[in-house]
A and B are shown apart, each in its own frame.
Chain A
Amino acid sequence: MDSALIPEGAKRCEFPKFMLGIAVVGAVLLWGVYAMFLCWFKGLNQTNMNDYYGFALWIWADLAVIAIGGGAFFTGLLKYIFKIDELKNIINFAVIIGFICYSSALLILAIDIGQPLRGWFIFWHANVHSMLTEVAYCLSCYFAVLTIEFIPNILENRQLNKVSFFHHLAHNMHGVMAIFAATGAFLSFFHQGSLGGVAGVMFGRPFAVRESLLIWPWTFFLFTWSAAAFGPCFTLLVTKITEAITGKKLVGDKTVHLLAKISGWMITTYMVAKIIDTIYWATVTAPSLGFTLDHFYSNNAFYGYWILFAELIVCGLVPGLMLVVKSTRENPKMRLIAIILGVIGVCLNRWVMVLQVFAVPVMSFDNWALYIPSWQEVATTVLPVAYGIILIAVSYRYLPVFPQELELNKPAEAAAE
């Protein structure tokens, strides 16, 4: 039915089967959209947030998708600036994942603010001292860059590419993509960093505050570093999931191993920095403000030392080292375990740096604040996931996302025939 749109030579499932899948995910999407409209029209009283716990589940999701979407800028940097040509086999997909993550982040922010119609005030009345201002500018600009990076892939659709203008536009955009990759890396450095800075500058919150390196708190650099380190893990994970669903090999082992190796070294070096940061914070920063480490991890029902151990060791050092060591990196199962742990690790880090910050009492006579998200918060958090699945499904079906697809699946398809 839609065979004219499918890339030449590529095998795709029957259209009704495809639409059935889209409908199932679409139902989840509609559930999220309904919750989103409830928040917009009835207000944030639809959530379980309160004046103690002012950031919802979705703000964690917002930071998490930005972190794991870091694979786009980092892979683009490696491919276009450092000229690691092998990554051409995964860059399209990395860009699509980044596009989904950043558009999701912007959507989540639009739901999160109490007065959505005033969202533009962040640009109009910009406070240059606020890390959030920097986040907003860089996030918006980087989303524009990702859109530009995504466009040539869209124009390479079999039918669109027949239009001479689109064909040449896509070709020429590929030619100048290094400029956008460099711009994207520059912007990402700042907005990933400023997201880290958001927590680091809160000197009234000893759990979050970090001392400065240059003019920024060093959480600025840790966030950028972690996004570059763990982002490729997510790219690899989504690639693996897509391969499992489609039943095809989409990216060659050489590319996967290379990206996994780079990610492994980035994670390991990041974890060294993160552990040094944690030790300094626990032994110098916090005590100087009257707190012991124990204060942040006890006397509550949820935030125990387990979360620190899980973030730093189980989902940090362990996956980093697993990806550094060749034998585990090139073992498909071990690699999968490592990239799953890595993705969980960076998401855990964002959770801690956003939600635990709120939960920890600061005044000596105050108590821990914990909350359970409302269904509206859960639905609006799931919403971008459903949107992402649909966009990936449509892109995979109609765009030449994976340049190695035909080559990698030729023997299997020939055997099937």
Chain B
Amino acid sequence: MIHNTKAHKFGMLIDLDKCTGCGSCMVSCMAENNVPFKEDESRKKDSITWMRVYKLTNGKSFPDTEVVYMPRPCQHCSGIGDHGHSPCVSVCPATATDYGYDTGIVSQIYTRCFGCRYCMGACPYHARYFNWWDPKWPEGMENYLSPNVSPRMRGVVEKCSFCYHRYQLAKDKAYAEEREIEEMEYQTACTTACPAGAITFGDLNNPAHKVTQIVKPDPHPVPGNPKVVGKSRNPKVFRLLERLGTNTKVYYMSEREWVRKAGDNYLDGEWDKVKNHHGAETSHG
């Protein structure tokens, strides 16, 4: 009778060669998760965008200019050595953010957060957002809020949850029907909204899931950098700031070398040593 006992490790793959930068993921995320907006949205550094799309260029002038759009949700880090101490979780003094060992999802308990913002300081991805204002929606729009996601009050930190409420709904349904969750039953809002099909979401512990098949995560620590676990064996796939050992569960994919190089910081000459083996390279996280 007991189901869903296997430890999941939900993760995401974003194909940057498919992403058109349309922003559908951002919009769907805001709508799905009751993300409020400000009366004046001109100052972007205090806007809340759980999913943010960065614009990257190769730095070359026309006609060699190339542009890529990089959607960036919370990276759901599992921390050094994959032990669950993600940068934000280990610093939160009130355990308001936590790592789910059964899902791999980094959660945020809004009613427990008291707004010290230490987690924001610890996150190198700027994936965490503080509610500088009380949430306000245009008149009538309150009726469109999702009943499955609690709105957040002023003074607390929030971030992408991989649409955790969707997981709960799918889990409840599967439990009632005495079976495991199927791949397509739990998909994030951004995944389903992406018109280009650039986002793939699933369980990285399940070899049958598409995301696992593309990413091919290595469960062993990288020799030479034991902080890094879960590195992709696909040479076209990379993670942001991988060598820091944050061990994110959001993977990016691109055929283009300069895009993969933008994923991390390299000293002079380092990239040349790893580029041909990126993904399979052992000495470099």
A290 adjacent to B264 (CB under 8 Å)? yes
Q: Judge if A23 is at the interface, Cβ distance under 8 Å.
A: no
Q: Judge if A363 is at the interface, Cβ distance under 8 Å.
A: yes
Contact with A along B78-102 (1 / 0, CB 8 A): 0010000101011111111000000
A202 adjacent to B114 (CB under 8 Å)? no
Cα A363 to Cα B54 with chains together (Å): 11
B45 adjacent to A114 (CB under 8 Å)? no
Given A114-B155, A203-B244, are A44 and B130 neighbors across the interface (CB < 8 Å)?
Answer: yes
State the main secondary structure of chain B at its contact with A. loop
State the main secondary structure of chain A at its contact with B. loop
B262 adjacent to A204 (CB under 8 Å)? no
B122 adjacent to A114 (CB under 8 Å)? no
Given A43-B154, A203-B246, are A54 and B121 neighbors across the interface (CB < 8 Å)?
Answer: yes
A364 adjacent to B264 (CB under 8 Å)? yes
Cα A343 to Cα B98 with chains together (Å): 39
Residue in B85, B156, B246 whose beta carbon sits within 8 Å of that of A129 in the complex: B85
A202 adjacent to B130 (CB under 8 Å)? no
Q: Judge if B28 is at the interface, Cβ distance under 8 Å.
A: no
Which chain B residues lie closer than 8 Å to A125 at the CB level? 94-96, 112
B120 adjacent to A126 (CB under 8 Å)? no
Residues 334-389 of A contacting B (Cβ, < 8 Å): 357-358, 362-366, 369
Residues 223-276 of B contacting A (Cβ, < 8 Å): 240-241, 243-246, 261-267, 270
Identify which of B17-25, B131-139, B179-187, B191-199 touches chain A: B131-139
Q: How large is the interface on A (under 10, 10 to 19, 20 to 34, 35 or more residues)?
A: 35 or more
Q: Nearest Cβ in chain A — how far from B86, in angstroms?
A: 9
Q: Judge if B113 is at the interface, Cβ distance under 8 Å.
A: yes
Cα A136 to Cα B91 with chains together (Å): 13
Cα A55 to Cα B130 with chains together (Å): 12
Residue in B45, B54, B91, B154 whose beta carbon sits within 8 Å of that of A130 in the complex: B91
Q: Judge if A153 is at the interface, Cβ distance under 8 Å.
A: no
Which chain A residues lie closer than 8 Å to B129 at the CB level? 51
B155 adjacent to A198 (CB under 8 Å)? no
Q: Judge if B207 is at the interface, Cβ distance under 8 Å.
A: no
B117 adjacent to A114 (CB under 8 Å)? yes
Q: Judge if B171 is at the interface, Cβ distance under 8 Å.
A: no
Q: Judge if A224 is at the interface, Cβ distance under 8 Å.
A: no
Which chain B residues lie closer than 8 Å to A206 at the CB level? 244
A43 adjacent to B116 (CB under 8 Å)? no
A-B contact pairs, 23 of them (CB 8 A): A43-B132, A44-B130, A51-B126, A52-B45, A54-B120, A54-B130, A55-B117, A113-B116, A116-B114, A118-B114, A122-B114, A127-B94, A129-B85, A130-B91, A130-B118, A131-B91, A133-B93, A203-B244, A204-B125, A289-B243, A291-B265, A295-B265, A362-B125
Q: A50-B45, A204-B123 are in contact. List 5 more A-B contacts (CB 8 A).
A: A55-B117, A126-B95, A127-B94, A206-B244, A364-B263
